[in-house]
A = this chain, B = another copy of it.
Amino acid sequence: MRSPLSSQQAEQIAPLLKALADPVRLRLLSLVASHADGEACVCDLTDAFELSQPTISHHLKVLHEVGLLDRSKRGVWVYYQLRTEALAGLAALIDDGAR
């Protein structure tokens, strides 16, 4: 790694990692990513867990707020979609630290 992170940089990156650092949210992301057309509605996701619908809704909100998931409402359903650039950018940052 070239030069140490500044406090500001560290506090920018940490929330992204924090959003990712939960087993349920990791699975949510991967479920969305592996779904047909790269998007999934909340109903699909809720069915994949033994958790209440509000809990899933909460996790999706966290992922959306840090910019890892896009959100689009169509009719009664809400579809979430992976923001691959955001994830790829984070991966690049981490990988950079390893070289």
Contact = CB atoms under 8 A, between A and B. Distances in A.
B88 A91 contact: no
Contact of A17 (B11, B20, B92, B97): B20
A94 B90 contact: yes
A91 B87 contact: no
Please classify how large the interface on chain A is, using the bins under 10, 10 to 19, 20 to 34, 35 or more: 35 or more
A84 B31 CA distance: 29
Contacts of A21: 14-15, 17-18, 20-21
A98 B30 CA distance: 9
Interface stretch (A1-9, A57-65, A72-80): A1-9
The 8 closest A-B pairs by CB, nearest first: A91-B95, A1-B33, A17-B21, A87-B98, A10-B23, A88-B98, A18-B21, A91-B94
